[in-house]
Amino acid sequence: MVILLAAALAAAPEAAVVIRPVANMYSKPSADVDVVSQAICSSHVGILEKQGAWFKIRTADDYTGWTAASNLRILQAGEKPYAASGRVGEVRNLFAHIYREPSVTKRAPLLTVPFETRLEITAEPEREDGRWLQTRLPDGRFAWVQRGDLDFAPRKLSIPEMLELSQRFLGLPYTWGGTSSFGYDCSGFTQMLCRRRGILMPRDAGPQCRWEGNRPVEKSELQPGDLLYFGPSPQKITHTGIYMGDGRFIHATTHLIPVIQISQLSDPHWTKLLVACRRPQ
């Protein structure tokens, strides 16, 4: 699916790849307005509009927003999309340091990329431990990454595996518009976890709740992996999380402590706001 999407973007009038660890997407071509979403390093995006040093882009989940031109590298006509073929590793840890040379001690990291970043591997030197791999970054530079940071055969997770993965993110900061391990917002977090199951949901909580791929379920019938939606009314969804079982759910929230955390559905704050439960098909 990633390869098909990348190919489609490359065939569009203009496409680009994100070259920064995380690219903020704004509601207008300015850094002085609200962030609507993000695109992580190695993501392919379509270019919809240009305005000065700003591009309006469309991400793989069909979300649009403005980002600084410096966050992107425009793909040339006929150029193969980055990390769509060949030896490709996906960052499996919360973050991965990228180095100028195969050493963690000689120089500071060149950059640090988030979970799910895809990297082209260009060389695997024969060394005793096989620890270091050479990568070509999306901006064309060559650098080094440690093998232990990458997964070369990512697979769809079961619900128990997804819930286990979710707990690795506990304590990460809540970030409005966030879609990376540098900080998620509520819907960015649930979208990512469902994506690890092979389920491609809309970006925002309201559209997720209304999405045809989510089946309504009663609160009394909740099972681990079900999605919870909160708000003042079913027509105004403002928050989401994932049910873990035993009355607990995991979510990115600003309530009390602004981090990814596990809460209780029996908490009066959440009980009064729960307006919908969904089960991805």
pLDDT digits (tens, 9 = 90+) for 37-80: 999 999 999 999 999 999 999 999 999 999 999 999 999 988 99
Q: How confident is the model at residue 129 (pLDDT cuts 50, 70, 90)?
A: confident
Q: Kindly report the average pLDDT of the chain as a whole number.
A: 94
pLDDT of residue 78: 86
Q: Comparing 20-24, 129-133, 222-226, 245-249, which segment has the lowest mean pLDDT?
A: 129-133
DSSP annotation of 26 reads: E
**Which strand ranges, in their side-by-side order, compose the sheet holding 15-18?**
35-40, 22-26, 64-68, 54-58, 44-51, 15-18, 72-74
Q: Where in the chain is the domain with CATH 2.30.30.40?
A: 2-74, 88-151
Q: Does domain 88-151 have CATH number 2.30.30.40?
A: yes
Predicted confidence (pLDDT) at residue 234 exceeds the cutoff of 70: yes
Q: Where in the chain is the domain with CATH 3.90.1720.10?
A: 159-280
Predicted confidence (pLDDT) at residue 21 exceeds the cutoff of 70: yes
To the query of whether residue 186 is one of the catalytic residues in this protein, the response is: yes
Whole-prediction pTM value? 0.92
Alpha carbons within 13 angstroms on the beta-carbon side of residue 261 total 12
Q: Which CATH architecture has domain 2-74?
A: Roll (2.30)
Burial class (CB in 10 A: 0-12, 13-18, 19+), 77: exposed
Q: How confident is the model at residue 13 (pLDDT cuts 50, 70, 90)?
A: low
- How many residues belong to the chain? 281
Q: Are 116 and 192 in contact (CB under 8 A)?
A: yes
To the query of whether residue 44 is one of the catalytic residues in this protein, the response is: no
pLDDT of residue 10: 43
Among 41, 44, 209, 251, the active-site one is: 251
Q: What is the mean pLDDT of residues 6-34?
A: 84
Burial class (CB in 10 A: 0-12, 13-18, 19+), 188: buried
Phi/psi for 274 (5° steps) reads -70, 120
Among 41, 44, 194, 239, the active-site one is: 239
To the query of whether residue 251 is one of the catalytic residues in this protein, the response is: yes
Residue 181 structure tokens: 């391990």
Percentage with pLDDT > 90 across the chain = 92
**What angle, 0 to 180 degrees and rounded to 10, lies between the N-to-C axes of helices 186-196 and 159-166?**
140
Q: Which amino acid is at 13?
A: P
Q: CB within 8 A of 207, min separation 6: which ones?
A: none
Rounded-to-integer distance, Cα 154 and Cα 90, Å: 7
Q: What is the topology classification, in CATH, of domain 159-280?
A: endopeptidase fold (from Nostoc punctiforme) (3.90.1720)
Among 186, 194, 209, 277, the active-site one is: 186
